Amino acid sequence: MKEKPSRLKNFAVSWFAVVMGMFGFAIAWSRAEHILGLGSGLSPYFLGFTVAVSLSVALFYLAKALKYPHEVLGEVKHPMKISFMPTITIGLILTSIAFLQISPGLSFWTWAVGTGGHFILTLYVVSSWVHHAKYDINHLNPAWFIPVVGNILVPVAGVSHAPLEISWFFFSLGLFFWPVLMSIIFYRLIFHGSLPQRFIPTLFILIAPPAVALISWYKLTGTVGDFGRIMYSIALFFFLLIVFQAKYFYRLKFFLSWWAYSFPVAALTIATLIMGEESGLGLYRVMAGGLLACLTALIAILVVATAVNISRRTICVEEEH
């Protein structure tokens, strides 16, 4: 009799993209309540739900690592799945941001562990890019930005937990690799055909690096400045570009990679809130409110779609990315 496939064995590291999206959503709501004066009091509930989801994902992946260590090692060595490994440490960095005002002690330790772990993963991933015999142009997709986004994200809580030079180091590291990867990815998209269907949602990741760069720049300098405006404009352009191509996303079959929609939109929402607070322009406040509404609807759709596909046993199967 053929052995029934284990869903735990196929519990992909890309599940941590759910953690990223949920924390981005909770942080965006917290910022919106403060800047837009919503007074809804919903953000603590969203954060509580996010923590529950995050712990569940972490426990399942830990169980997989203990029972199927070779499968985890296979993800670490996989030319496409390796880009998702840093989502684990980014989840910790986002936890530190979410709890910065609520629990400074928890924020510090999650930031320290997340930042240290992310730096090690960045070294490993970049080393694998340089010394390899397994990559070709078709392996390249916007998920390669994930280690970069994590480094740019470090200063958001890092300025409160460590000397400023540490935050500048990570910010500079991320900012260096972003245009390098952007050039290669555009080359791949233009000259080597469309992405595989399951990776099309990762195009949303193009929004994240400049949006997060604005947020970190604001934390590092205390002002948006001209550089921040440039970063925001680039992020907004990529968002509008994605909206312009909505028809390509509308018909996609559900994959776990749908969660790539969430964190970039959350980052742009937070960036827009900052622009509105600093500029005083009502247009940014209206845009931020619209983006928050879109983000909320998006998270609701993703949560329901994920729950439905879990019940139908169509995810956590072979070849999941």
Residue 84 burial (10 A CB sphere; 0-12, 13-18, 19+): buried
- Residue 253 and residue 289: Cα distance in Å, rounded? 29
Residue 271's contacts (CB-CB under 8 Å, 6 or more residues apart) are: 211, 212, 214, 215, 231, 232, 235
Domains of the chain: 13-311 (1.50.10.150)
Q: What pLDDT does 2 receive?
A: 44
- Residue 167 and residue 109: Cα distance in Å, rounded? 16
- Residue 143 and residue 34: Cα distance in Å, rounded? 32
E strands of 88-182, at which residues? none
Residue 27's contacts (CB-CB under 8 Å, 6 or more residues apart) are: 94, 97, 98, 266, 270
Residue 54's nearest CA partner among 27, 91, 82 is 91
- Residue 175 and residue 173: Cα distance in Å, rounded? 6
- Residue 274 and residue 242: Cα distance in Å, rounded? 22
Task: Read off the tokens for 172.
Answer: 């500079």
**Number of neighbours of residue 282 by Cβ within 10 angstroms:** 9
Q: What pLDDT does 4 receive?
A: 52
Q: What pLDDT does 129 receive?
A: 82
For the question of whether the overall pTM of this predicted structure is more than 0.85, the answer is yes
Which regions of the chain are under pLDDT 70?
1-5, 133, 318-321
